[in-house]
Chain A
Amino acid sequence: MKTIRIAITGMHRGENPQPGSSIVSALRRRWPDAFVVGLVYDAYESGIYAEDGPDVCHAMPYPTVGMPTYLARLKEIRALDSFDILIPTLDAEIALLAGATGKLAALGIRALLPDEKTLVRCSKSKLPALAEACDIGVPATAVARDVSEAIEHAEEIGYPLFVKGQYYDATCVATPAVLASVAASILADWGPPLILQEPVQGNEFNVLGIGDGNGGSLGHCAVRKMIISDKGKGNGAVIVRDSRLDEITKRVMAETKWIGPFELEFIRDRRDDDYRLIEINPRFPAWVGFPAQLEANFPAAWVEWMITGSCDALLALRPGQFFLRHQIEVTGDMSELSAVLGSSFESTQPHSLAS
């Protein structure tokens, strides 16, 4: 296989870590000489400066600029540092690029993503309908376009409840006044809709996997969160094996014919011990580096599958193995920082940040 040349987004590994750095590390495990282009929005994305980080980095405009500008920048970067494959790792990027695989292919970029229809069907606001089709439990959920509608729905669901943005943010609110404040803030940051969801008490479980686009999957890995940050992020998790999670995952894949990486988020409801599907994330999670260290390298399998149409079987990992998120300091020099800062997306200068 010739040298893999791949562009990856989501390089930040701070308090709210993104998946990109873990994907880079996982790919380097399989292909040490892979050429990785980091696509970043901010010079402070810590993964830029990681020892095994991207070979080069380029600044990107936010996905809100729209498809033409986003694609134009990808084309510009590719002319500077050629890459063949793109792995977007952030929800807003995938929402923009879903259904654009043809346009990307026209630029010489391979990226397999779910189509827009499937992505919408799996979004937070449509989750109850999908769950019904898959015969999976979900918390009571309502969708609101504005604050007053949110307050109306909240009266039906009852307090406390979670209010969420379409892609990001989830806050538990206990009163209409707090709901109004949080909802207004989310609308200002992310726009409508707002998702209102009944809180479910119980342990949190996540399933990482890759859909093959034909109703099956290349493999999956289920964990229970052991340590949860105040932002709700899993800072530690242990591999579990529950045939019910396997079955639910199969049903979601079969129903959606999902293609690409995914993460299913569940809470195991204390009231009846059943799983409630909370969210479907259309990407690798930040903890994707964990199974990659245990011989289940999901990013490498996905890249291999994109290139050859097949991949080595992803092993079912032994339950009881866990990860703990371990923060370290990465170091850089102001010259590196300025190289990225000086590269607005209009720039044509590459940022060679390879160590």
Chain B
Amino acid sequence: MLNDRGFVFDPNTGESYQLSPTGLACLRGLQRGVSVDDLVSEVTTRWEVDTTAARCDIDSFLWDLQQLSWL
């Protein structure tokens, strides 16, 4: 369960999370089936961050999502 303010509730674990705006954009992108390369482009376009840093942060975010069994 994800709302437009980035609040996520995991119905399996009962845990809740607050995503940053960047995290919310990435998760919405993943829900739409956007590729990781396109996510990096979207993030560098919308926020002042270079491609290397954006890819590093997105990889880290994807790892977190995998740990939560969301991917």
Does B9 sit within 8 A of A, measured CB to CB? yes
Give the number of residues in B that approach A within 8 Å (Cβ atoms).
7
Q: Is the CB of A240 within 8 A of B1?
A: no
Task: Pick from A203, A205, A223, A320: contact of B9, CB below 8 A.
Answer: A320
Say which size band chain A's interface belongs to.
Answer: 10 to 19
Closest chain A CB from B68 CB (angstroms): 11
A69 vs chain B, min Cβ distance (A): 44
Q: A232 contacts the other chain (Cβ, under 8 Å)?
A: no
B11 at the A/B interface (Cβ < 8 Å)?
A: yes
Interface residues of A in 310-327 (CB under 8 A from B): 319-320
Closest residue on chain B to residue A226 by CB atoms: B14
Q: Is B13 touching A241 in the complex (CB atoms < 8 A)?
A: no
Bitwise interface map of B from 1 to 30 toward A, beta carbon under 8 Å scored 1, else 0: 100000001011111000000000000000
Q: Produce 1/0 per residue, A216-246, CB < 8 A to B.
A: 0000000110100000000000111110000
CB 8 Å contact bits of A237-266 with B (1 = contact, 0 = none): 011111000000000000000000000000
CA distance A205 to B9 in the complex (A): 16
Asked whether B11 lies within 8 Å of A319 as measured between CB atoms, the reply is yes
Closest to B14 in A: A224
Interface centre among B9, B11, B15, by most chain A C-beta atoms within 10 angstroms, is B11
Contact between chains at A242 and B9 (CB < 8 Å):
no
Residues of B within 8 A of A224 (CB): 13-15
Task: Report the minimal beta-carbon distance from B16 to chain A, rounded to whole angstroms.
Answer: 8
Contacts of B12 in A (CB 8 A): 240-242
Interface residues of A in 298-337 (CB under 8 A from B): 319-320
Q: Chain A's nearest CB lies how many Å from the CB of B12? A: 5
The residues of B that contact A203 with a CB separation of less than 8 Å are 13-15
* Smallest beta-carbon distance B48→chain A, Å: 35
Contacts of B11 in A (CB 8 A): 240-242, 319-320
For A240, the chain B residues whose CB sits under 8 A away are 11-14
Interface residues of A in 172-208 (CB under 8 A from B): 203, 205
**In the complex, A320 Cα to B15 Cα: how many Å?**
9
Bound form: Cα–Cα A334–B52 in Å: 74
Find chain B residues with CB under 8 A from A320 CB.
1, 9, 11
A223 touches which one: B1, B14, B15 (CB < 8 A)? B14
Per the bound structure, the CA–CA distance linking A241 and B13 in Å amounts to 8
User: Which B residues are CB-close (under 8 A) to A241?
Assistant: 11-12
Q: Which residues from chain A contact B15 at a C-beta distance below 8 Å?
A: 203, 224
Measured CB to CB, the closest approach of chain B to A274, in angstroms, equals 13
Q: How far apart sit A319 and B14, CA to CA, in the bound complex (Å)?
A: 8
- Min CB distance B58 to A, Å, is 25
Closest Cβ of chain A to B62, distance in Å, is 20
**What CA separation (Å) do A205 and B14 show in the bound complex?**
9
CB proximity of B3 to chain A, nearest CB, Å: 11
Using Cβ atoms and an 8 Å threshold, which residues of chain A touch B14?
Answer: 203, 205, 223-224, 226, 238-240, 319
CA distance A268 to B14 in the complex (A): 11
Bound-complex Cα distance A207 to B11 (A): 15
A271 to chain B, nearest CB (A): 15
Instruction: Return chain A residues, CB-CB under 8 Å to B1.
Output: 319-320
Cβ of A238: which chain B residues have Cβ within 8 Å of it? 9, 14
Contacts of A223 in B (CB 8 A): 14
| Residues of chain A within 8 A of B13, CB atoms compared | 203, 224, 240, 242, 268
Which A residues have a C-beta under 8 Å from some C-beta of B? 203, 205, 223-224, 226, 238-242, 268, 319-320
Top 3 A-B pairs, shortest CB-CB distance: A224-B14, A319-B11, A240-B14
A-B CB contact pairs (8 Å), 5 listed: A203-B15, A205-B14, A240-B13, A241-B12, A268-B13
